[in-house]
Structure 1
Amino acid sequence: MDKQQIDGQILELKDEYVQLQNNLDKLESIGGNLTPLEKRLSDIEVELKELNARKQELS
């Protein structure tokens, strides 16, 4: 995977993260089940750390 592909994946994950945060806020206001969204947010954070580490290795 090259640096450009990593940047693309990072951008997609950041977009998904923002959308999930908005959904989480809405769900929280109506008392919904937050666990699946919180889990996915956590997973995205881990993926972003890994991608950023790979990107650093390529620099």
Structure 2
Amino acid sequence: MEDKKSIEYKIAELKAEYIRLQNDLEKLEYVDGKLSPLEQQIAGIEEELRTLNQKLREL
């Protein structure tokens, strides 16, 4: 079982990664690059954040 601090740490890491990917996505949109791998990564991070936030609420 994960403790509150480790879940909060994972959430912070995922948020930082999410922001980085969003910035990359905006750059790719600007130069008409391929978006789907980045969009899939972002969707995965969103899902993981939902799961971790749910765990945090249950503690």
Q: TM-score, normalised by structure 2?
A: 0.96
Aligned to 1:30: 31
2-side partners of 1:22 and 1:53: how far apart?
A: 26
2-side partners of 1:29 and 1:13: how far apart?
A: 24
Aligned-residue sequence identity (percent) comes to 50
RMSD: 0.4
Aligned to 1:43: 44
* Unaligned segments of structure 1, at least 5 residues: none
1-side partners of 2:54 and 2:27: how far apart?
A: 32
Q: TM-score, normalised by structure 1?
A: 0.96
What is the identity, as a one-letter code, of the residue corresponding to 2:29? E
What is the identity, as a one-letter code, of the residue corresponding to 1:49? R
